[in-house]
Amino acid sequence: MKFHENLFRLRREKGLKQQDVATGAGLSLRGYQNYERGLREPSLSTLVALADFYDLSLDELVCRER
């Protein structure tokens, strides 16, 4: 699963709106929408903010498997 697909899945599973995630992670709505649509790649600090928001590790957030 690609990162942007995982962002969409996480948000839908929790019943959240894009604005909820953006506000909770300290992002602009447009910025979050670009990440979820796969139009932009987030910075490390943004990845950390999203992982903290969802209470996930970075590996879980980006679907990294070993």
What's the angle, vertex CA 11, arms to CA 8 and CA 14, rounded to 5?
145
DSSP code, position 39: S
Q: Which domains does the chain have, with CATH numbers?
A: 3-59 (1.10.260.40)
Q: pLDDT band for position 64 (50/70/90)? A: confident
Tokens standing for residue 61: 């957030």
More confident residue, 7 or 1: 7
End-to-end, the C-alpha distance of the chain in Å comes to 14
> Amino acid letter at 66?
R
Considering only CA atoms, which of 40, 43, 47 is closest in space to residue 63?
47
pTM: predicted TM-score of the whole model, two decimal places: 0.92
Number of H helices, E strands in the chain: 5, 0
